[in-house]
Amino acid sequence: MARTMNDIVIAGAGQAGARAAEALRARGFTGSITMIGEEPHPPYERPQLSKSLLQSSDAPVAYIKQAADWTKTLDIRIETGAAAIECDADRRIVSTADGRNFRFDGLLLATGTRPRRLSALEDAQIEVQYLRSVEDALRFRRHIQAKSRIAIVGGGVIGLEAACAAARSGCHVTVIENEERLLARAFPPLVSSLVADRHRGHGVTFVFGATVTGSTSRSVDLSNGAEIAADLVLVGVGVTPSAELAVRLGLPAAEGIAVDACGRTAAPDIFCAGDAALQWSRCHGRAIRVETWANAQNQAISVAANMIGETVEYNDPPWFWTDQYDLNIQVTGDMRDAEHVARGDPNGDRFSIIAMRGAELVGALSVNAAKDMAMLRRVIAANARPRRADLEAPGYDLRSALKSH
């Protein structure tokens, strides 16, 4: 039987940790809450790092709350500037890198992820940057303002959003992608092409099917023999879970920290939420880590309820969005290994694509069709199964799928 929670420690002071702490207080938890974060800042949401902070030369960092609001209004202790690195599960003590100890009845692992490093650039003479913190974003923004020549390794969401901001400011931008098209795991080919064309229209150059093999002080070398001139290299080739604390607890964490639908790990009274959590996805048919703003918020809120004795299962389909110039693209669920059904004109700038496996809707993508996506997210979450012929009909109201469910 789970023990009474009087003292809760949250390892990680990012979005997931912060939203969980808020939810604990909102649900009436009156015990002590301590958030421990490696960065020196109060909690903030990461999407701004590749969005608003790069799009304006003077955009401020938007914190979820100021430090005083956490401590005075919510009575939540925040310990920043030192990561939690050790945990004694028997004594119920978490220790930080600078030697402080914190006792807990319940522990939430909200440790997030860290950028995957590119070994070919580890000892490079050229300036190499990753985009994971406020400091990273502000440093990259200075390069944008200086109209630097920028090579971006990785044609994923982060790299493309950074490319947008840099190209709009007049930088010379080259994106190097080892796949043959952009975002191949999330976008159908026609959307990959649409996005690439938009970037080319703003002067961005793409190199597909190549990897970085080395560098000089003013360029990077590619596996296809090309040499790309650059003042800075931004690397965005994915992330790995920050799971050292879980490993020290004896939890399997090679692909993420495994949790059930309530956020429980295999260790008693220890939970996990956010980017580091390996959770079941019905749309994918397997356990995955969900690296999105929505999951960091909503799963954390759900897990907080379970920490204090409620039973709230979290099974929202994954969802993310990206703005590429005049294109707002939203994706929910899983677009791979499925039949695609189009709503609207896929050769235009406003349409949706629905992914189906048999009669099951498992994913959707919208381009400048936010209203469609809002309904499709609800339809997929409800596991509703409208007929394909209805979905293809231009006048079909997606609300009908929910009414008949």
Task: Confirm if 333 and 355 have CB atoms less than 8 A apart.
Answer: yes
Per residue in 60-76, pLDDT tens?
999 999 989 999 999 99
pLDDT at 2 over 60: no
Which CATH architecture is the domain 7-114+241-307 placed in? 3-Layer(bba) Sandwich (3.50)
Which residues on adjacent β-strands are paired with residue 333? Answer: 363
pLDDT at 126 over 70: yes
The fraction of the chain above a pLDDT of 70, given in percent, is: 99
Global confidence as pTM: 0.95
Q: Tell how far CA 242 is from the center of its chain.
A: 14
Instruction: Give mean pLDDT, residues 290-314.
Output: 97
Confidence tier at 5 by pLDDT (50, 70, 90): confident
Burial string for 236-248 (b: 16+ CB within 10 Å, else e) reads bbebebbbebbeb
Q: Do 7-114+241-307 and 119-235 fold alike per CATH? A: yes
Sheet holding 149-153, edge to edge: 127-130, 232-235, 149-153, 172-177, 205-208
Task: Name 164's Cβ contacts closer than 8 Å, sequence gap at least 6.
Answer: 55, 199, 202, 323, 324, 325
End-to-end, the C-alpha distance of the chain in Å comes to 37
Q: For the chain, give the mean pLDDT.
A: 95
Burial degree of 90 (CB within 10 A; 0-12, 13-18, 19+): exposed
Confidence tier at 404 by pLDDT (50, 70, 90): low
Confidence tier at 151 by pLDDT (50, 70, 90): very high
Instruction: Give mean pLDDT, residues 196-211.
Output: 98
Classify domain 119-235 at the CATH superfamily level: FAD/NAD(P)-binding domain (3.50.50.60)
Confidence tier at 1 by pLDDT (50, 70, 90): very low
**What are the tokens at 54?**
């790069």
Higher pLDDT: 4 or 336? It is 336
Per residue in 285-298, pLDDT tens?
999 999 999 999 99
Q: Where are the domains of the chain?
A: 7-114+241-307, 119-235, 326-403
User: How far apart are alpha carbons 121 and 212 in whole angstroms?
Assistant: 8
Per residue in 223-237, pLDDT tens?
999 999 999 999 999
For the chain, give the number of residues. 405
Task: Confirm if 380 and 362 have CB atoms less than 8 A apart.
Answer: yes
3-state secondary structure of 381: helix
Task: Confirm if 62 and 45 have CB atoms less than 8 A apart.
Answer: yes
Task: Name 195's Cβ contacts closer than 8 Å, sequence gap at least 6.
Answer: 160, 182, 183, 187, 324, 327, 329
Radius of gyration of the chain (CA): 22
Per residue in 233-280, pLDDT tens?
999 999 999 999 999 999 989 899 999 999 999 999 999 999 999 999
User: Could you confirm whether domain 326-403 is CATH 2.60.40.10?
Assistant: no
Helix, strand, coil share of the chain (percent; to 5): 25, 30, 45
3-state secondary structure of 108: strand
pLDDT at 306 over 70: yes
Residue 394 pLDDT? 80
Instruction: Give mean pLDDT, residues 145-160.
Output: 97
